[in-house]
Amino acid sequence: MEKTPSYFVTREAPARISAMSKDTKLIVVVRDPVTRAISDYTQTLSKRPDIPTFESLTFKNRSTGLIDTSWSAIQIGIYAKHLEHWLRHFPIGQMLFVSGERLISDPAGELGRVQDFLGLKRIITDKHFYFNKTKGFPCLKKAEGSSKPHCLGKTKGRTHPEIDREVVQRLREFYRPFNLKFYQMTGHDFGWD
């Protein structure tokens, strides 16, 4: 098993992985692209507090509403574009798209889908999780080989900055056609609209 978030958006990755093994099963965790962009910005802001505002980075020209698709935080969420590259090398049946939102609201259910996709016996259930209100995420009741619970690291669950509602709405409009295409490609409506 290998896990690298940038694989899905790296243009060369599908061909390289296919050359390594055409039978590879791929699991892609996706979340609402607007939330994902804000989260990406929040992560960068924590390391570089002097960066421009989210609003200013979002637009090439704010008065015309032209979104800056060269900004990686925006570009990553255009999932349909990235999936097209993967479908040149892998059939859709070798890919499972996991909802980041449902990983939070129903971790056992989403992990049940993962176990089924991988042909594994369903071992992970609701009894393995508890919701950590401080982090805003579910945590494992105890990590394997440990007696204490395991939560996502301190870089996860940060409070997002307040973003201008008009900017969020404009991003929702921008992503809508890409989301609809992604839903069609995957046969799965993630409900981001």
Extract the annotated binding site for 3'-phosphoadenylyl sulfate.
31, 39, 156-160
**Cβ(124)–Cβ(143) under 8 Å?**
no
Q: Residue with structure tokens 């929702």?
A: 172
Alpha-carbon distance of 71 to 58, in angstroms, equals: 7
Alpha-carbon distance of 4 to 13, in angstroms, equals: 11
Binding residues: 31, 39, 156-160
SS (H, E, C) 117-151: HCCCCCCCCHHHEEEECCCCEEEECCCCCCCCCEC
